Every structure is written in structure tokens, then in C-alpha cells.
Chains A and B, each alone.
Chain A
Amino acid sequence: GENVEQHPSTLSVQEGDSAVIKCTYSDSASNYFPWYKQELGKRPQLIIDIRSNVGEKKDQRIAVTLNKTAKHFSLHITETQPEDSAVYFCAAGSNYQLIWGAGTKLIIKP
């Protein structure tokens, strides 16, 4: 079946440094690529999303890039802060359904 691979599973960065999380999808029909942040014991919340007609989108310290030819997209967080510590999920979808990556635990070291 269709799947989304996400790497790395754990990422530890120094506070103030940048973090990059990468995802690869298999379904060429996918046209919507959201990123969600989930803090421990809480619900996932959307932090940024991109559609297939756009190559890059930025919102303050967060950016997402999409390479449709290679079927991969990435989340970039700059100037990381302690409150960025969480699990981040990527997803790819079309026609009402999302296929989710396994998640990346981001640890911000003081």
C-alpha cells in the first residue's frame, strides 16, 4: 500500500540551531502535505502545510519544501527554542485521506 517514510526518528539539536526533518511519499497522486506537532499526551496540531502546486512555504521560523519529482518534502525549523520540543508528524494525502509518517521526536538541548 501507499506509505510515507519519515527521518530521523529522533533529532537532538542545540537551542538556537536549525532542525530538518525529511519525508518521502509513494503515492504520486498526493497533493496535500501537512506537518503536525504533538506534545506529550496532547492532540496533534497543524503547524504548516503545502500543496503540490507550491515548492516552498514559510511561516516565521518554520518552512516546508516540496520536491514532487523526487516525492519528498522537508520541514525546517530555524532558531530552535525549548518549546519546539515535541513529536513532529508529516503526512501526504489526496481525496480526503492522509497517510502519516511515523514521527520524529525533536529534542532541544539547552
Chain B
Amino acid sequence: DGGITQSPKYLFRKEGQNVTLSCEQNLNHDAMYWYRQDPGQGLRLIYYSQIVNDFQKGDIAEGYSVSREKKESFPLTVTSAQKNPTAFYLCASSGGAGGIYEQYFGPGTRLTVT
């Protein structure tokens, strides 16, 4: 464990509220990712960032927003526009110069919206 952290582990919110999930890494990785995992499905990419102050939409970005103001941090905001936000959210980071490399995952945040 260690290297990439997510908080909180469990999060409960009422419908209509925005919520921000934290992701921090001390691995000096340039790339960071947010995934959503639903039961019986693989990981679906929400947003990713290759470098500070830059990020790209993934396959399911609607209803989510991110920022990358620091190399170490990549917070995800789940907005009220996300129609089905209850899920397990995983943050990951990856190092290496260009291309694609192993992604290291945080422990995840389980979000429940009622």
C-alpha cells in the first residue's frame, strides 16, 4: 500500500448535491486517471491527465469534472448532472516517459447517493 491515496473510503450524499473525491500520489507520476467500477463490469475511464494543468475526457465524462493544479493531486467532482452516481471510484497514476505503463491504483472511494 502507499503511494496513492483516496479519501474518504465511503461517502454518502443526497441527490442533487455535488461531491468531490480526493486523490493524492507521491510517486512523482505525470499521468493520473479516474475510473468508475460497477458490479460485473470492467473499469470505465472518466477522465485522465497526462500532465499538470491538462486533462482529457474518457468514455463516461458526462456529469463529472476534474482539475489538475498540482502534479500530486487529481480531485474528481461528481455533479448533480450525473444520473447514476452510486459506484466504486478508483484513482490511478502512471509514470514513464511517454506511452503507456503500469497503472497504480488507490484504495477506492465507494459513493452512495440516495
A interface residues with partner B (beta carbon < 8 Å) = 1, 4, 6, 9, 31-32, 34, 42-46, 49, 89, 91, 93-98, 100-103
CB neighbours (8 Å) of B42 from chain A are 4, 6, 89, 100-103
Among residues of B, the one whose C-beta sits closest to the C-beta of A32 is B100
Residues B102 and A49 in contact, CB atoms below 8 Å apart: yes
Among residues of B, the one whose C-beta sits closest to the C-beta of A43 is B105
B interface residues with partner A (beta carbon < 8 Å) = 31, 40-45, 48, 50, 58-59, 90, 94, 99-103, 105-108
Q: Which 9 interchain pairs have the tightest Cβ spacing?
A: A100-B42, A43-B105, A100-B43, A102-B42, A32-B100, A93-B100, A46-B102, A44-B105, A43-B107
Residues B102 and A96 in contact, CB atoms below 8 Å apart: no
Residues A95 and B43 in contact, CB atoms below 8 Å apart: no
Distance between B72 CB and nearest chain A CB, rounded to angstroms = 18
Residues B59 and A96 in contact, CB atoms below 8 Å apart: no
Residues B94 and A96 in contact, CB atoms below 8 Å apart: yes
Residues B48 and A43 in contact, CB atoms below 8 Å apart: no
Residues A96 and B50 in contact, CB atoms below 8 Å apart: yes
Extra contacts besides A44-B90, A89-B42 (10): CB < 8 Å: A1-B59, A44-B43, A96-B31, A96-B94, A97-B48, A97-B58, A98-B43, A100-B44, A102-B41, A102-B42
